[in-house]
Amino acid sequence: MKHRGDRGVTGLPGGKRVKKSSARIRALAALDELNCQLGAARAVYPRGAKEILAAQRALIALCGQVAGAPADETLERAAAALDREIARLSALAPLPKAFIIPGESLPEAAVQLARAKCRTAETLVCALPGQPAAVKYLNRLSGYLFSLAVFARR
Protein backbone atom coordinates (compact mmCIF):
# COMPACT_ATOMS: atom_id res chain seq x y z
CA MET A 1 0.00 0.00 0.00
CA LYS A 2 1.37 3.40 -0.98
CA HIS A 3 1.18 6.13 1.67
CA ARG A 4 1.29 9.63 0.23
CA GLY A 5 2.58 11.18 3.48
CA ASP A 6 5.72 9.04 3.51
CA ARG A 7 7.51 11.63 1.39
CA GLY A 8 7.01 14.45 3.86
CA VAL A 9 4.01 16.08 2.22
CA THR A 10 0.37 16.22 3.20
CA GLY A 11 -2.86 17.47 1.71
CA LEU A 12 -4.96 20.51 2.55
CA PRO A 13 -8.61 21.11 1.68
CA GLY A 14 -8.93 21.64 -2.04
CA GLY A 15 -6.22 19.11 -2.82
CA LYS A 16 -3.19 21.35 -2.33
CA ARG A 17 -0.08 19.41 -1.22
CA VAL A 18 2.33 21.05 1.22
CA LYS A 19 5.45 20.03 3.09
CA LYS A 20 4.79 18.65 6.56
CA SER A 21 7.47 21.04 7.81
CA SER A 22 5.53 24.10 6.61
CA ALA A 23 4.40 26.74 9.09
CA ARG A 24 0.74 25.90 8.42
CA ILE A 25 1.19 22.20 9.18
CA ARG A 26 3.24 22.98 12.33
CA ALA A 27 0.40 25.24 13.50
CA LEU A 28 -2.18 22.53 12.76
CA ALA A 29 -0.10 19.98 14.69
CA ALA A 30 0.03 22.32 17.71
CA LEU A 31 -3.74 22.82 17.48
CA ASP A 32 -4.20 19.04 17.40
CA GLU A 33 -2.05 18.72 20.53
CA LEU A 34 -4.09 21.49 22.16
CA ASN A 35 -7.32 19.67 21.40
CA CYS A 36 -5.89 16.51 22.98
CA GLN A 37 -4.76 18.46 26.06
CA LEU A 38 -8.24 19.96 26.35
CA GLY A 39 -9.68 16.45 26.18
CA ALA A 40 -7.42 15.35 29.02
CA ALA A 41 -8.43 18.41 31.07
CA ARG A 42 -12.09 17.67 30.41
CA ALA A 43 -11.61 14.06 31.52
CA VAL A 44 -10.07 14.99 34.87
CA TYR A 45 -12.08 18.16 35.59
CA PRO A 46 -15.80 17.54 35.07
CA ARG A 47 -16.74 20.98 36.49
CA GLY A 48 -15.30 22.58 33.36
CA ALA A 49 -16.38 19.87 30.92
CA LYS A 50 -19.16 21.78 29.16
CA GLU A 51 -17.02 24.82 28.38
CA ILE A 52 -13.95 22.76 27.51
CA LEU A 53 -16.00 20.67 25.07
CA ALA A 54 -17.28 23.90 23.48
CA ALA A 55 -13.65 25.01 23.11
CA GLN A 56 -12.75 21.71 21.46
CA ARG A 57 -15.59 22.16 18.98
CA ALA A 58 -14.46 25.72 18.22
CA LEU A 59 -10.94 24.37 17.63
CA ILE A 60 -12.30 22.11 14.91
CA ALA A 61 -13.62 25.20 13.09
CA LEU A 62 -10.35 27.02 13.79
CA CYS A 63 -8.32 24.15 12.29
CA GLY A 64 -10.48 24.27 9.20
CA GLN A 65 -9.80 27.97 8.77
CA VAL A 66 -6.07 27.53 9.35
CA ALA A 67 -6.09 24.72 6.76
CA GLY A 68 -7.70 27.05 4.22
CA ALA A 69 -11.47 26.80 4.64
CA PRO A 70 -13.36 30.10 4.42
CA ALA A 71 -13.78 32.01 7.66
CA ASP A 72 -17.22 32.37 9.23
CA GLU A 73 -18.58 33.82 12.47
CA THR A 74 -17.92 30.69 14.56
CA LEU A 75 -14.71 31.95 16.14
CA GLU A 76 -16.09 35.43 16.87
CA ARG A 77 -19.07 33.92 18.71
CA ALA A 78 -16.81 31.48 20.54
CA ALA A 79 -14.42 34.28 21.59
CA ALA A 80 -17.36 36.29 22.95
CA ALA A 81 -18.53 33.25 24.93
CA LEU A 82 -15.04 32.87 26.40
CA ASP A 83 -15.05 36.55 27.42
CA ARG A 84 -18.26 35.92 29.36
CA GLU A 85 -16.79 32.83 31.03
CA ILE A 86 -13.60 34.69 31.97
CA ALA A 87 -15.69 37.40 33.64
CA ARG A 88 -17.81 34.81 35.47
CA LEU A 89 -14.81 32.84 36.74
CA SER A 90 -12.90 35.98 37.70
CA ALA A 91 -15.82 37.04 39.89
CA LEU A 92 -15.82 33.63 41.60
CA ALA A 93 -12.05 33.22 41.95
CA PRO A 94 -10.08 36.48 41.73
CA LEU A 95 -6.59 36.32 40.30
CA PRO A 96 -3.88 35.62 42.85
CA LYS A 97 -1.34 38.30 43.64
CA ALA A 98 1.62 35.94 43.24
CA PHE A 99 2.87 33.86 40.33
CA ILE A 100 1.10 30.51 40.10
CA ILE A 101 3.14 27.32 40.04
CA PRO A 102 1.01 24.66 38.29
CA GLY A 103 0.32 21.41 40.11
CA GLU A 104 -1.95 22.27 43.01
CA SER A 105 -4.26 19.45 41.90
CA LEU A 106 -4.61 17.13 38.94
CA PRO A 107 -7.50 19.14 37.42
CA GLU A 108 -5.60 22.42 37.81
CA ALA A 109 -2.43 20.91 36.34
CA ALA A 110 -4.35 19.49 33.37
CA VAL A 111 -5.95 22.86 32.66
CA GLN A 112 -2.60 24.64 33.02
CA LEU A 113 -1.01 22.19 30.58
CA ALA A 114 -3.77 22.92 28.05
CA ARG A 115 -3.25 26.67 28.64
CA ALA A 116 0.48 26.37 27.94
CA LYS A 117 -0.19 24.37 24.76
CA CYS A 118 -2.70 27.02 23.73
CA ARG A 119 -0.01 29.68 24.00
CA THR A 120 2.30 27.60 21.81
CA ALA A 121 -0.43 27.12 19.21
CA GLU A 122 -1.22 30.84 19.29
CA THR A 123 2.40 31.77 18.51
CA LEU A 124 2.43 29.42 15.53
CA VAL A 125 -0.92 30.65 14.19
CA CYS A 126 0.27 34.27 14.60
CA ALA A 127 3.01 33.50 12.07
CA LEU A 128 0.42 32.66 9.40
CA PRO A 129 -1.07 35.39 7.22
CA GLY A 130 -4.78 36.13 7.33
CA GLN A 131 -5.72 34.49 10.64
CA PRO A 132 -6.99 37.35 12.87
CA ALA A 133 -10.09 35.47 14.10
CA ALA A 134 -8.01 32.41 14.95
CA VAL A 135 -5.42 34.47 16.84
CA LYS A 136 -8.13 36.32 18.76
CA TYR A 137 -9.87 33.09 19.69
CA LEU A 138 -6.66 31.42 20.88
CA ASN A 139 -5.79 34.47 22.94
CA ARG A 140 -9.21 34.34 24.62
CA LEU A 141 -8.95 30.58 25.10
CA SER A 142 -5.60 30.99 26.86
CA GLY A 143 -7.14 33.60 29.15
CA TYR A 144 -10.13 31.39 29.83
CA LEU A 145 -7.93 28.40 30.65
CA PHE A 146 -5.91 30.52 33.06
CA SER A 147 -9.11 31.66 34.79
CA LEU A 148 -10.37 28.07 34.89
CA ALA A 149 -7.07 26.89 36.40
CA VAL A 150 -7.31 29.55 39.11
CA PHE A 151 -10.87 28.43 39.79
CA ALA A 152 -9.78 24.78 39.90
CA ARG A 153 -7.25 25.59 42.64
CA ARG A 154 -10.05 26.46 45.09
Domain ranges of the chain: 18-152
Per-residue pLDDT of the chain (154 residues; tens, 9 = 90+): 677 778 899 988 888 899 999 999 999 999 999 999 999 999 999 999 999 999 999 999 999 999 999 989 999 999 999 999 999 999 999 888 889 999 999 999 999 999 999 999 999 999 999 999 999 999 999 999 999 999 998 8
Q: Determine the pLDDT at residue 1.
A: 67
Q: Which CATH number fits domain 18-152: 1.10.3210.10, 1.20.1200.10, 1.10.10.10, 3.40.50.300?
A: 1.20.1200.10
Q: Determine the pLDDT at residue 5.
A: 75
Cβ within 8 Å of residue 104, ≥6 positions away: 152, 153
Phi-psi region of 14 (alpha: psi -120 to 50; beta: other; left: phi over 0): left
Burial 96-120 (b: 16+ CB within 10 A, else e): eeeeeeeeeeebbbbbbbbbbbbbb
Phi-psi region of 8 (alpha: psi -120 to 50; beta: other; left: phi over 0): left
Instruction: Give the pTM.
Output: 0.94
Residue (of 99, 138, 100) closest to 119 by Cα position: 138
Dihedral sign for Cα atoms in the order 124, 130, 134, 138: positive
**CA atoms of 143 and 149, how far apart (whole Å):** 10
Q: Determine the pLDDT at residue 74.
A: 95
**CA atoms of 109 and 123, how far apart (whole Å):** 21
Dihedral sign for Cα atoms in the order 96, 93, 35, 106: positive
State the alpha helices, DSSP H only, in 22-105: 23-44, 49-67, 74-92
